[in-house]
């Protein structure tokens, strides 16, 4: 059995300032992860029109919240900028960080569907940009992110981007941005498929005669426990499945339906293809 992932790479030595644009759900999850890894609040600048309680409390510990430019009208040059606003507000909001970009600044965007090309067009020429796609388990430090950089990203900046993203879970790098729509369809949207599985198991349990609260608890704990087992195990999903399937038994009877024509594989292939197409259309 594998040990739980070790995500505790220290950010104590991370150079500041680190500017976060948008402290919503995802931005706040990253912020929490960075602080847990030892990043000093004094190294952080947050631009957020409606900061939550946690961000306001950090502002009392040195975090700079919506700072005004200095008297000379100069904004602080950031070592790194993380863009976590909604993709729809990007055209208006992203250019505002330009004043914080200097030689060596890394820009890391987690906006769904906003391409490296879009970002390069909205930022000063020559900016080092990493585009990344995380997913919601980031909220508990158990996300998976796929990242891709433009030609301006140095080895040091790639390492920095990896460290910032490791604060919310596992990180994979892509060399080809074209795969990002499929990544979004599998892991970005993926948590919704898993939650749907829990919902469907609950409904099926009720249909099979279980009291609704018990059906919901059984489905929830089964999905969560199996996810944790998969996470900790060295075995792949197919082997774990086979290990709980005796020939001619109850699991085998269910799997015959799920793996038969029109079953899980076919449905998910169709669903993920639809999400990939949608991502491509939205990116334009
Ligand atoms: N949630 C996910 O599962 C997920 C997964 C992958 C990628 N992403 C990406 O992560 C990004 C953030 O998503 P989210 O779920 O965290 O959204 P969210 O909770 O709405 O966060 C966006 C934040 O940006 C703030 N904002 C808006 N205008 C701003 C401005 N001018 N300056 C600074 N901040 C501004 C918003 O403030 P207001 O509330 O005042 O508008 C909000 O707090 C999106 O681009 C999304 O595509 C999310």
Binding site membership of 205 for ligand 1 (Cβ less than 6 Å): no
Identify the weakest region by mean pLDDT among 2-11, 19-28, 48-57: 2-11
pLDDT in tens, 209-224: 999 999 999 999 999 9
CB 175 within 8 A of CB 146: no
| pLDDT beyond 90 at 16 | no
Reported pTM? 0.92
Cα separation of 207 and 221, whole Å? Answer: 19
How many percent of the chain have pLDDT more than 90? 90
What's the whole-number average pLDDT of the chain?
94
- Which burial class, exposed, middle or buried, applies to 284 when counting CB atoms under 10 A from its CB (0-12, 13-18, 19+)? exposed
User: Ligand 1 centre and the CA of 147: distance in Å?
Assistant: 18
Give the residue whose CA is nearest to atom 5 of ligand 1: 135
| pLDDT beyond 90 at 281 | no
Binding site membership of 195 for ligand 1 (Cβ less than 6 Å): no
User: Ligand 1 centre and the CA of 138: distance in Å?
Assistant: 14
Q: What's the pLDDT band for 269 if we cut at 50, 70, 90?
A: very high
- Which burial class, exposed, middle or buried, applies to 30 when counting CB atoms under 10 A from its CB (0-12, 13-18, 19+)? buried
| pLDDT beyond 90 at 90 | yes
pLDDT recorded at residue 34:
97
Cα separation of 83 and 54, whole Å? Answer: 19
pLDDT recorded at residue 2:
58
Binding site membership of 94 for ligand 1 (Cβ less than 6 Å): no
Q: What's the pLDDT band for 280 if we cut at 50, 70, 90?
A: confident
pLDDT recorded at residue 6:
47
Residue 25 CA, closest ligand 1 atom number: 16
pLDDT in tens, 234-263: 999 999 999 999 999 999 999 999 999 999
User: Ligand 1 centre and the CA of 49: distance in Å?
Assistant: 11
């Amino acid at each position: 059995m594998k040990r739980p992932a070790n995500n505790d790479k220290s950010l104590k030595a991370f150079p500041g300032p680190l500017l976060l644009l948008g402290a919503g759900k995802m931005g706040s999850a990253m912020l929490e992860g960075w602080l847990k890894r030892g990043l000093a609040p004094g190294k952080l600048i947050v631009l957020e029109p409606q900061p939550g309680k946690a961000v306001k409390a950090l502002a009392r510990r040195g975090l700079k919240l919506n700072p005004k430019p200095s008297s000379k009208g100069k904004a602080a040059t950031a070592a790194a900028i993380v863009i976590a606003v909604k993709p729809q507000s990007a055209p208006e909001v992203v250019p505002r960080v330009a004043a914080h970009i200097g030689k060596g600044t890394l820009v890391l965007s987690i906006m769904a569907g906003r391409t490296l090309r879009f970002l390069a067009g909205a930022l000063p020429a020559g900016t080092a940009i990493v585009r990344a796609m995380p997913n919601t388990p980031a909220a508990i430090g158990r996300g998976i992110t796929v990242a891709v950089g433009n030609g301006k990203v140095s080895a040091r900046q790639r390492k920095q981007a990896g460290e910032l993203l490791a604060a919310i879970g596992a990180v994979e790098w892509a060399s080809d941005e074209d795969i990002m729509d499929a990544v979004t369809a599998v892991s970005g949207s993926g948590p919704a498929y898993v939650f749907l599985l829990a919902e469907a198991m609950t409904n099926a349990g009720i249909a099979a005669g279980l009291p609704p609260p018990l059906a919901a608890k059984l489905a929830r704990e089964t999905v969560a426990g199996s996810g944790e087992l998969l996470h900790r195990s060295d075995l792949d999903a197919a082997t774990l499945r086979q290990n709980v399937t005796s020939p001619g038994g109850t699991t085998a009877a269910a799997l015959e339906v799920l793996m038969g024509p029109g079953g899980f594989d076919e449905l998910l292939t169709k669903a993920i293809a639809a999400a990939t197409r949608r991502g491509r259309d939205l990116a334009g």
